[in-house]
Amino acid sequence: MTPLTPFHIAIPAYDLEEARKFYREVLGCSEGRSDTHWTDFNLYGHQLVVHYKPRPANAPVHHHNPVDGHDVPIPHYGVVLTWELWHELEAKLKALNMHFIIEPGIRFQGKPGEQATMFFLDPSGNALEFKAFKDMGQLFAK
């Protein structure tokens, strides 16, 4: 098996300062390099880059796919956390009165791939999912 390495993802941000505040203060990311049009963040060991993009006249519409009784927004990104870190993030987001697209809960309960999951949006409308497995061996379970 290939050793796990950090991923890199670049996403749009309509307001860089608002994005910086969200990723620093809400998700606890440290900032890396930046320029006038982009900023790097350490998202749980992964490289997330927010790039300035002017807000479009019409707000983008998320597509959804049905998954385990929920309409999951597509596209979305996030991180698989440890069970403990997921619950810490859940508590922090609830204390901040985060609006969840899909409330924190357990998906595929009692089935292969059982996981804790939650979905919410960043200030630019990018959909995020954070999940955790009690048994990380279930990450790719069939």
pLDDT tens digits, one per residue of 19-55 = 999 999 999 999 999 999 999 999 999 999 999 999 8
Measured CA angle at 118 (ends 49, 68), to 5 deg? 120
Question: 118 and 93 in contact (C-beta within 8 Å)?
Answer: yes
Residue 68 confidence (pLDDT) above 90: no
- pTM assigned to the model: 0.91
Q: Cα–Cα distance between 96 and 86 in angstroms, integer?
A: 15
Structure tokens at 121: 């949006």
Domains of the chain (ranges, CATH numbers): 1-53 (3.10.180.10), 66-142 (3.10.180.10)
What pLDDT score does 70 carry?
85
What pLDDT score does 1 carry?
65
Residue 122, number of CB atoms within 10 A of its CB: 19
CA distances from 53 to 10, 37, 46, 56, 88 (A): 12, 8, 22, 8, 31
Average pLDDT over residues 96-112: 94
Flag the least confident range among 41-50, 68-77, 119-128: 68-77
